[in-house]
Structure 1
Amino acid sequence: MLLDGISFKKTGYFSSLINDYLDENPLLQSFYNRHPNVVNFGEQLKEKTTHFNENSRKILVQTLFEQYKNVDASELTLNHIELLSSASTFTITTGHQLNLFTGPLYFLYKIVSAINLSKELKKQYPDYNFVPVYWMATEDHDFEEINFFNFKGKKIQWNTKSGGAVGELSTSGLDEVFNLFALELGPGVHAEYLKSLFKSAYLDHDNLAEATRYLANELFKDYGLVIIDANNRALKQQFIPYVKEELFKNTSFQQVLETSDKLSEVNTDYPIQVTPREINIFYIKEGLRERIVFEDGVFKVLNTSMSWTESEIEKELNECPERFSPNVITRPLYQEVILPNLAYIGGGGELAYWFQLKSYFNQVDVPFPILILRNSVLIETESQHKKLEKLNISNHDIFLNQSAFINKKVREISNIDIDFSSQKEALQKQFEDLYALAKQTDKSFLGAVKAQEVKQLKGLEKLEKRLLKAQKKTLADQVNRMTELQNELFPNQSLQERNTNFSQFYLEHGKQLIPELIKHLNPLTKEFSLLKL
């Protein structure tokens, strides 16, 4: 059940940029297209309709059916793919790396957000169709970011040699990981399903892209999720004009640098998530994904002997577009070129780099999608919820950093008043009188009065800290229970969703886990959700 919602700002885990976006700070308006609300999707529909043609839809549908030919897809998913042929069908997209066994929990929350938003838009705009899409980041090459997941405080890791795009990485050797994970899961109906799911995904498929497609489809096929691998020749042929723009005009470099400077001018605390290079395209072949650079009058692939003149690289691009891979700057544009997309759903870090891209999209005349912060969730088990109630810990308290959390709770449960605020106020009042007296007699005493005030206030603060420390010892049992409970809910003092794998909750709740998320999560909420399962 849904327990509560807390504003993202009050959790303390989201940047000022994201909080200002959610608050619709007018200073940010030039960095995005439309704010995420149901009404604005009507305008987004009109704009995208004029920028996405029938041929692009035909290529997209053909490619998806080809990618699904060996997938046990649901009738709803296949229907969604077919509907993409129609000019009245649009996508709601989220993307994620090919993390081993989905990685952290927010993999699920991203996709649930896309599914629920598609359903909500269908209610509001019944003449249109909306398809939830999961964009597999098959062209990434940061293997160390995806080769593990956390289960009950243990890191389940895949150690193997890697190179090139991770989607093409062989699943050979994952049987050892499976054996280790199976032991950790133990017996039980839900454990057996998780073992079967892992085995079918990773031991029965040859590469990481196929394994991840199988896994995401098994988890979400009942909801019509469409999974796309954009590392595809037919799709990349449509991106050729934009790659040429990147190679020969360095458009993204110029636009993103200018936008980043403007963001910093709005607020110096805003994170600059990505730094553009002059050319934001990689070259990929089997086992290789390296940056393309322009040096000494020729185009080169770093750490290789490959090079081309301008005419030669244009020929290479036209003949082999599949070898040109967008990086973090150009990938969002590629997505919007090949999909009839209305919105992108991502985490705070992802949206931060999207804000750097608006002027780039304008320059190349591609509609900028509506940006939506994915759902965030803290899941409490029945046992944890009862402990929170017994210890009188509020849903807001649990989000405090651990030191502030324990100090607050010790003050609340202590039989002694540890808050010296009234004494400090009385002391400051006394010194106001001393300041007035010093001004009337000898102003040279003002410095001495100030020094004495600072000394006595520090003395009170020191006494307060000593008393608090003593009470922590007296209440050690309760302090330990509160600390242990917060550590369970916030592993490594970080958000649960950024650490824990879904299997830990599936082990207890089984096939009800995802339906419960679908039932309770609102994709357009401005709050962090707390669920009891």
Structure 2
Amino acid sequence: MSTDTISYSDTNYFSSLITDYLAQKSTLKPFYSRFPEIGNFGQQLEEKKEFFNKNGKRETLVAVLKEQYEKVPASEATLKNIELLGKDNTFTVTTGHQLNLFTGPLYFLYKIVTTINLAQELKEKYPDHDFVPVYWMATEDHDFEEINFFNVHGKKFQWNLPAVEERGGAVGELPTAGLEDVFKLFSAEIGDTANARQLKEWFKKAYLEHDDLAAATRYLANELFGKYGLVILDGHNRKLKKQFVPHMQQELLEKSSCKASVSSAEALEKKGYSVQVNPREINLFYLEKGLRERIIEKDGNYFVHDQDITWSRQEILELLEREPKKFSPNVLMRPLYQEVVLPNLCYIGGGGELAYWFELKEYFEQQKVPFPILLLRNSVLIQTEKQDQKRRKLNISIPELFLKNHELINRKVRQISNIDIDLSPQKEHLVNQFQGLYEVAEKTDKSFLGAVKAQEVKQLKGLENLEKRLLKAQKKKLEDEVSRIAALQNELFPNKGLQERHQNFSEFYLEYGENLIPLLLKNLKPLELKFDILSL
């Protein structure tokens, strides 16, 4: 196997917000605390230690995890990590993800591999402390259409719930009914090799032998990563939310997250960045079976959007104290909740996730909660040895692979053509000739300047059209090479996008089996901050 890297900016798939962050541009420094460099974690853990090691938070966390793992065949490494979380010198690095069917896009693996590898790197740097990789299951999300499918071999395998009315609540509570049909179609697609049988076994045990989506996802993630000590946490828990009550109370009474994040969002926009999330006045949902809807305040009374549920101020505060599990932080409050209940040093996410974290530093400061280090998860393009050989034979460099399809083909046709179809010298010569005409017009009659300009534009346009026709003719002449270039890029960039955002891990498990995850763990370097190309 071989490995290559490319800068995130050179891929052209990441926003200026993310590439500027990785370049540590000064414009973004007000929006984060510490950059993800190994030496910065020492200060981070001291700050987190002072905040977290009090009020029985560790004891509560360990007790909750033990409850959640009662019916899970946890590995020795995971059980050890749960026990370690009870000690004052143990910290977490955390990633979060939706409960996508059968993990959803491939980058689910990359998130967790990044988290596991970073925990190991931190242990090497700070041997007197322990570091636990955590996967925070987004069990309270309610966007069913975002998670109910996965793609294999260009085919979409979609889960259709029998009970449509159940879709409005937390997805973690969704019953796994209806997944037998998905299992049959998926099984028929992948065949009957040893690797295919392992995939079928995971799917069957996860989704056909567990009652709800949260339990199914926990089982699958544990099967894939439990041996590496991954700890899986479901934040939809009364004991954990009890610790978050003061912050939720302040949100209800003062709309604190909105006020802080709006100013940060406006500051980001002034610097030319797009805002990922626009805050609501109250960033809490009301949650019960089949229902997760936002809470609205008007004239001192509280309502559930589109529901006949209302409270006075006193009533909602009493409900919050009595049943905190009925209150669900949205995308802007969930980061704070996570950092309140975990001894966390670093959050690992994709570009879209980090974008909304940048809106939150001021909010964290107001709430007196340490803001974590933000790390962009590893991104990977996997190519087979055969695909890599094709790439080399076609003389396509790694950066060229990431060009838009027409840009790549045009560039390669120009390179391999036996005639020169780049008319740039002729265009330059024409521009120089017209410069002399401008001088003549300036000295004689300035009214001719417009006519000269029009003629220049016309003739340059003519050369451009001629160049396009020559290029088109050469593409036809070199049709075989063009088709092979296009075919290779389409294989590596399905739907003209990044492989990791479209394909499911099962496609690669069919090829590499039990070696897949160890190969990723061996080759991905969390703090290198480069896009990886792996030829396996």
Is 1:398 the equivalent of 2:390?
no
Q: Distance in 2 between matches of 1:2 and 1:297?
A: 63
Match for residue 158 of structure 1?
159
Amino acid at match of 2:113: V
Match for residue 7 of structure 2?
7
Match for residue 128 of structure 1?
129
Counterparts of 1:422-441 in structure 2, within 5 Å, are 422-441=425-444
SS at match of 2:168: coil
Amino acid at match of 1:498: R
Instruction: Determine what percentage of the aligned residue pairs are the same residue.
Output: 62
SS at match of 2:74: coil
Answer whether contact 1:92 1:117 (CA < 8 A) is retained.
yes
Of residues 483, 497, 500 in structure 2, which corresponds to 1:494? 497
Answer whether contact 1:91 1:342 (CA < 8 A) is retained.
yes
CA apart distance, 1:163: 2.7
Answer whether contact 1:92 1:131 (CA < 8 A) is retained.
yes
Match for residue 24 of structure 1?
24
CA apart distance, 1:296: 4.2
Match for residue 262 of structure 2?
257
Q: RMSD over aligned Cα, in angstroms?
A: 0.9
Q: Distance in 1 between matches of 2:426 and 2:435?
A: 14
CA apart distance, 1:3: 2.4
Where structure 1 has 5 or more consecutive residues not aligned to the other structure, the ranges are none
Match for residue 200 of structure 1?
205
Match for residue 43 of structure 1?
43
Is 1:377 the equivalent of 2:395?
no
Is 1:531 the equivalent of 2:524?
no
Counterparts of 1:453-464 in structure 2, within 5 Å, are 453-464=456-467
Match for residue 88 of structure 2?
87
Match for residue 143 of structure 2?
142
Where structure 2 has 5 or more consecutive residues not aligned to the other structure, the ranges are none
Is 1:33 the equivalent of 2:38?
no
Q: Distance in 2 between matches of 1:173 and 1:443?
A: 78
Match for residue 340 of structure 1?
343
Counterparts of 1:196-235 in structure 2, within 5 Å, are 196-235=201-240
SS at match of 1:488: helix
Which has the larger displacement, 516-525 or 438-447?
438-447
Match for residue 114 of structure 1?
115
CA apart distance, 1:445: 2.1
Q: Distance in 2 between matches of 1:359 and 1:297?
A: 26
Is 1:514 the equivalent of 2:517?
yes
Q: Distance in 2 between matches of 1:416 and 1:192?
A: 54
Q: Distance in 1 between matches of 2:38 and 2:182?
A: 44
Q: Distance in 1 between matches of 2:421 and 2:74?
A: 62
Q: Distance in 1 between matches of 2:172 and 2:290?
A: 11
Match for residue 196 of structure 2?
191
Name the TM-score, length of structure 2 as normaliser. Answer: 0.98
Q: Distance in 2 between matches of 1:341 and 1:94?
A: 10
Q: Distance in 1 between matches of 2:301 and 2:443?
A: 80
Answer whether contact 1:27 1:266 (CA < 8 A) is retained.
yes
Amino acid at match of 1:511: E
C-alpha offsets along residues 348-372 of structure 1, whole Å, 9 cap, x if unaligned? Answer: 0000000011111111111000000
Of residues 482, 485, 505 in structure 2, which corresponds to 1:482? 485
Aligned length: 531
Is 1:178 the equivalent of 2:183?
yes
Match for residue 248 of structure 2?
243
SS at match of 1:210: helix
Answer whether contact 1:2 1:529 (CA < 8 A) is retained.
no
C-alpha offsets along residues 391-428 of structure 1, whole Å, 9 cap, x if unaligned? Answer: 11111111001111111111111111111111111111
Give structure 1 regions of 4+ aligned residues with deviation exceeding 3 angstroms.
Answer: none
SS at match of 1:524: helix
C-alpha offsets along residues 324-374 of structure 1, whole Å, 9 cap, x if unaligned? Answer: 000001000000000000000000000000001111111111100000000
Q: Distance in 1 between matches of 2:385 and 2:200?
A: 25
Amino acid at match of 1:26: S
